[in-house]
């Protein structure tokens, strides 16, 4: 019939969160894939014994061009394909106040023409060379990526450099993409039951700082108001090599790749970057609750969100493990309680940056959240009581080493899934995030050891400070449609 239905936008977002296109690939959204740093696999199953401590190392060659462009090379000979990803350190949080949705609209403009590639020519170039492409806008970056046959690396580097050098956009192209983006908002939000719930709504309710708390997809009138001057100044402000990272992963020769990167990107001038926006959120001291009317939904829904510890602190890693224990997988405390035991719902989904990424690819305040759709005869309070009970249980009985170890196994496994996503694009995504935000893409190989440093005591401390009811926002959907 239908596979277990998640929230509809989840399905779409898996394919393209705030993205340029839904047409990247055929088949499932989150294709699992595998890549490696060793030669082509043998033709018969090998007979090596596995130790439970098998560690998987990702090659990371990191350097910066004179113009400030960060470059990461990560060779992998599993399949004769290469991934090229250009990440710009500008996400939807940072867009101008009178132009909600502009960072994402601009992302669309990056496909509309550069000096040597007219409208549609970039897309046609990738396709006719046997590749796929997409772009997306997230909290703290906008990305553009291509996955192509290995022998086409130079072609793609040339093309990606062409649009980093400058755009060539007409009023007609802008108008066209304004219409396309408005249709994107309609199909993903306005014409869907639970549209925007909770991924687009929750930040607006939970956060206090406008940069973290506005409508990232954009009000339709703001989208209409955008003009060519906006496009021009946005590009000039944010789209320079010293505000970007370029990732090449897959089957390529690093020496050759370095030559091409220098040849095509080396001469693009850097720019003065604007001062960093203050993204800080005040400490939340009181629980807040909100209700959203939904005229297309037939059943009530509930979402909860807690402010996260700062990225890369010991508590942040502890929170990653709490996420595994509480909400990830069918063995998780909340699934067992809300689904298996109480029967309030068929599935609970959520996590860290769950609607628009993962726990690694953002750089600022973030939420840990969860959501479920339930029946009319179940009250929001009874759901919240269960959540409180489960968190309380962890607090009173403590988290022992055995439970920590289980969380680490789950974390390791989901990390491998993450780097496998979309033919290894997931690996490029993490490398880009770590280059842009931490200036250290090699972090990708030390994440496991960071999680292993977490102690039962730290778990307790993190739970008490961050999973307190006064640190949370509850959002419920009031369904107005007839079943």
Partner 1 sequence: MKIINIYLLNAALLFSGATALAQKQTPPTGGEPRNFTLPAKQEFTLPNGLQATMVPYGEIPKVTVSLIVQVGNVHETEKENGLADITGQLMREGTTNLNAKQIAEQAARMGGSVDISVGSNQTTISGSVLSEYGPELVKLLADLVQHPAFPPSEIERIKNDFKRSMNLARSQPGTQADTKFRMAIYKGHPYGRDLPTDAQIDAFTVEQVRDFYQRQFGAQRTGVYVAGKFEGSAMRQAITSALSEWQQGPPPRIEIAQPVTKPDMLLLDRPGAPQSTLIIGLPTIDPSHPDYTKLRVMNSLLGGSFGSRITRNIRENKGYTYSPHSTIAPRYRVADWSEQADVTTEHTGNSLKEIVNEIDRLQKEAPSPEELKGIQNYVAGIFVLQNSSPGGIINQLNFLDLHGLPDTYLTNQVQAIHAVTPQEVKDLTKKYIRPEDMTTVVVGDKKVITPQIKKFQAEIKKRAL
Mask 181-200, x = binds partner 1 (CB under 8 A)? xxxx-xx--xxxx-------
Mask 128-167, x = binds partner 1 (CB under 8 A)? xxxxxx-------------xxxxxxxxx--xx-----xxx
- State the DSSP H helix or E strand holding residue 146, giving kind and residue range, or none if neither: strand 142-149
Mask 315-334, x = binds partner 1 (CB under 8 A)? --------------xxx---
What are the angstrom distances between the C-alpha of 441 and each of 294, 408, 436, 448? 42, 21, 8, 14
Q: What does the alpha-carbon distance between residue 291 and residue 437 come to, in Å, rounded to a whole number?
A: 35
Reference 167, options 129, 237, 242, 113; nearest CA is 113
Among 277, 291, 296, 385, binds partner 1 (CB under 8 A): 296
Output the smallest distance, CB 393 to partner 1, in A: 15
Q: Does residue 180 interact with partner 1 by CB under 8 A?
A: yes
Q: Does residue 476 interact with partner 1 by CB under 8 A?
A: no
Q: Does residue 8 interact with partner 1 by CB under 8 A?
A: yes
E-state strands within 295-439 = 301-307, 349-352, 367-373
Beta-carbon-side half-sphere exposure of residue 350 (alpha carbons within 13 Å): 29
Query: How is residue 459 written in tokens?
Result: 């778990």
Q: Does residue 445 interact with partner 1 by CB under 8 A?
A: no
Q: What does the alpha-carbon distance between residue 453 and residue 82 come to, in Å, rounded to a whole number?
A: 34
Among 80, 274, 282, 398, binds partner 1 (CB under 8 A): 80
* Nearest to partner 1 of 125, 432 (CB atom): 125
Q: How far is CA 414 from the centre of its chain?
A: 14
Among 171, 259, 280, 382, binds partner 1 (CB under 8 A): 171
Map tokens 């496009």 to a residue: 231
* Nearest to partner 1 of 154, 287 (CB atom): 154
Output the smallest distance, CB 366 to partner 1, in A: 25
| Sign for the pseudo-dihedral over CA of 197, 198, 199, 203 | positive
Query: How is residue 374 written in tokens?
Result: 């339930």
Among 104, 333, 410, 472, binds partner 1 (CB under 8 A): 410
* Nearest to partner 1 of 18, 141 (CB atom): 18
Q: Does residue 259 interact with partner 1 by CB under 8 A?
A: no
* Nearest to partner 1 of 20, 466 (CB atom): 20
Output the smallest distance, CB 478 to partner 1, in A: 15
Q: Binders of partner 1: how many residues, by CB under 8 A?
A: 129
Q: Collapse the DSSP code of 85 into the 3-class scheme (helix H, G, I; strand E, B; otherwise coil) and give the result.
A: strand
Output the smallest distance, CB 202 to partner 1, in A: 19
Instruction: List beta partners, residue 145.
Output: 85, 134
What b/e readout covers 415-428, taking b as 16+ CB neighbours within 10 angstroms?
Answer: beebbbbbbbbbbb
């Amino acid at each position: 019939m239908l596979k277990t239905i998640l929230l509809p936008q989840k399905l779409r977002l898996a394919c393209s969160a705030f993205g340029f296109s839904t047409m990247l690939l055929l088949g499932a959204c989150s294709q699992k894939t595998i890549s490696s740093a060793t030669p082509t696999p043998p033709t018969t199953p090998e007979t090596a014994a596995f130790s439970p401590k098998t560690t998987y190392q990702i090659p990371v060659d990191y350097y910066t061009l004179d113009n400030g462009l960060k470059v990461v090379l990560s060779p992998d000979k599993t399949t004769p394909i290469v991934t090229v990803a250009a990440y710009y350190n500008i996400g939807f949080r940072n867009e101008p106040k009178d132009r909600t949705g502009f960072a994402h609209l601009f992302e669309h403009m990056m496909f509309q023409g550069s000096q040597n590639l007219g409208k549609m020519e970039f897309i046609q170039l990738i396709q006719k060379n046997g590749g796929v492409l997409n772009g997306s806008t997230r909290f703290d970056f906008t990305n553009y990526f291509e996955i192509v046959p290995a022998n086409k690396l130079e072609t793609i580097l040339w093309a990606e450099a062409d649009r980093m050098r400058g755009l060539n956009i007409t009023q007609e192209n802008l108008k066209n993409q304004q219409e396309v983006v408005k249709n994107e908002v309609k199909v993903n939000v306005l014409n869907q039951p639970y549209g925007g719930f909770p991924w687009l709504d929750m930040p607006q309710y939970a956060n206090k700082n406008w940069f973290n708390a506005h409508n990232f997809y954009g009000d339709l009138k703001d989208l209409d108001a955008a003009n060519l001057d906006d496009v021009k100044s946005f590009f000039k402000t944010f789209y320079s090599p010293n505000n970007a990272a370029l990732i090449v992963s897959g089957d390529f020769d690093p020496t050759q790749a370095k030559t091409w990167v220098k040849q095509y990107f080396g001469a693009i001038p850097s720019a003065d970057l604007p001062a960093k926006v203050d993204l800080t959120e005040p400490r939340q001291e009181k629980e807040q609750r909100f209700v959203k009317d939904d005229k297309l939904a037939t059943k009530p829904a509930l979402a909860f969100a807690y402010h996260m510890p700062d990225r890369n602190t010991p508590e942040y890693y502890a929170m990653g493990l709490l996420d595994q224990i509480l909400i990830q997988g069918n063995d998780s405390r909340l699934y067992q309680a809300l689904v298996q035991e109480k029967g309030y719902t068929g599935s609970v989904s959520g996590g860290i940056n769950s609607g628009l990424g993962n726990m690694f690819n953002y750089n600022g305040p973030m939420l840990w959240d969860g959501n479920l759709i339930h029946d009319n005869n179940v009250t929001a309070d009874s759901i919240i009581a269960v959540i409180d009970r489960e968190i309380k249980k962890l607090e009173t009985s403590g988290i022992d080493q055995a439970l920590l170890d289980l969380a680490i196994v789950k974390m390791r496994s989901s990390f491998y899934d993450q780097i496998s996503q979309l033919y290894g694009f997931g690996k490029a995504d993490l490398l880009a995030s770590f280059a842009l935000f931490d200036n250290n893409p090699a972090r990708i190989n030390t994440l496991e050891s960071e999680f292993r440093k977490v102690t039962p005591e730290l778990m307790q401390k993190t739970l008490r400070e961050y999973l307190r009811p006064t640190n949370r926002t509850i959002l419920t959907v009031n369904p107005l449609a007839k079943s």
